[in-house]
Structure 1
Amino acid sequence: MKTALRVTAFTLGLTAAFGLALGVGHAVGPGGKPAPAGHDGGHDSGHGTGHDGGHEEHAGHGAAAGQLPGGLQISERGYTLALDNAFVTAGASTDLRFRILGPDGRALTAYHPQHEKELHLIVAPRDLSTFQHLHPTRAADGTWSAPTALPAAGEYRVFADFLPAGETEGLTLGADLHAAGDLRPAPLPETGRSVTVDGYTVTLEGDLTPGAGGALTLSVSRDGHPVTDLQPYLGAYGHLVALRAGDLAYLHVHPESTTPGPAITFHATAPSAGTYRLFLDFKHGDTVRTAAFTLPTPTAAAPAATTPAPAPGATEHAAHQH
């Protein structure tokens, strides 16, 4: 998930060290209903969703002191994310192919599924203007492939979030992907606290306070009416990915909420002052949509334009691919 804070933990510039503690989400149980409180979404007890690369152990517990957040490294604990081709053309359809190499140097073929998938793949540009949560397929030889198209020229980050079979702690590895084309740098979009995507309005309440835990609540409405029948998507009523502007450190959490809307609540602790891009995936009417927010911490100013912008005509909100 679809498709890579984790905010507890949507892929982008990833190069600094910080720890993040976020709430462990609730999985969907039999019949498509959320699992009881305390269920970790199908992961082994004590190992959380693992989408921040540290795979928090319980709600409120993040990466160990001094541990890098997810996605900042292409190799970790002997595992390596190996892209078949790191150079593509913006706007053109491409088959993104890659392998996870194990400690023995061979392609990994055995995984422990997390939130209904063996591996979650996130692709995002370093300007955090778009977000794709892809669902690659794996061949018998361990090669993964996912059809996609990068909307604009620039530098992208690919995040692979997975748990190898036989391991108890998952990983989030990141690699750079280069898209050739007309590069047009621009600052992060200013979204405010309410965004609209496909006729749905999503409102954000709460703040990311460095070093202090707090709640982020995202409420979904349509035509002025609260949406109270959100559908489970990959085992939860919502998925939130947060990427820190400037280094694209990757965080991903699942909600504390156990009701199908309109509010979806996540517990988050910002590891540092800064500006974050939040990408909320939610499903309604059998379609997954992504709402994107730009959220500075209370003491942080918005960053200057240093990264590429989407091509002319590209929409401000995130692109979600299935």
Structure 2
Amino acid sequence: MVYEHGGDVYRNKVRLDFSVNTNPLGMSENVKKAIAENIEQFGIYPDAMCINLRNAIAEKEQVGIDNVLCSNGAAEMIFAVVRAVMPKKTLLLAPTFSEYERALKSVGSQICYYYLKEKNDFELQDDFIDYLDDIDMVFICNPNNPVGKIADKKTAQHIAEVCDERKIVCVFDECFMDLADGYSMKEKVPVIKAFTKTYAMAGLRLGYMIADTDFVCDVQRQLPMWNVSAAAQIGGITAINDNDYLEKGKQIIREEREFLMDKLKNLGFKVFNSDVNFILFKGNVGLDKSLLKREILIRNCGNFNGLDEGFYRITVKKHDENAEFIRELGDICG
């Protein structure tokens, strides 16, 4: 097994993990308390229909409960969506989140790529629709990982409209959108979200999809029973009602993202604009190894299709951690 993502603190000695992009506040104390107080529930089966959780999500997202489907993280939902559609030919962005490709390969889908260009700061362009001939399915990560940019709203809407006209299943992954000041495509296309990033609940594994009821039913058939644990359901209900936590996290991200981007530029790195809680930058090959010797983990993006060695991604954390990271990085750069 080859691990392709950030957060590998199990095989590395790490004191500062800048490789995973979760809310800088960490898991809410309210979530921890709710899980601890309900630990007796863990001895019985969780609600297979996730009624209370779906009700909470539906209220937050202003949709009907039958438009919400929950999963064991966004990755499980991606695989279930792909199995429900069984696309013969799919169009992906490059670079983008690698789990779309893994899911598509598992069902034998032919994969085509729309390569985002460095000269355009890896931003999605209007000519994406020129690549839609004979395509059955499209995944768009928005904001895109590892770039961090939100697609132009008119461009996104145009893509959704063209896909609808051509009967192409277009799925938007908005796992980072709630940590940014953006928009949602949930009224036009199926949208996937997760508590992983927004509420720093990566270990609990909780994702969801918003879609029309027919598509929800199609995808639900691809999911196992009891796939969302009691702990994840309790944590999710508590988290989604904690508006103060989310707003505080977003404020930290806005302020600290600017701090990190300015400092990286001052150190001579090429930094790409970001709208969310992570930053893509370009530096010397091997920088990640130099930082790991200091027990600091960053995401080497060399294994992203469309990027080379020398591209790195870091998350936005609290100021003290960000300042320490910049001090260590500056020491390495000399």
Q: Which has the higher strand share?
A: 1
Relative to the length of structure 2, the TM-score reads: 0.27
Computing the radius of gyration from Cα coordinates, the structure with the larger value is 2
Q: Which has the higher helix share?
A: 2
Relative to the length of structure 1, the TM-score reads: 0.28
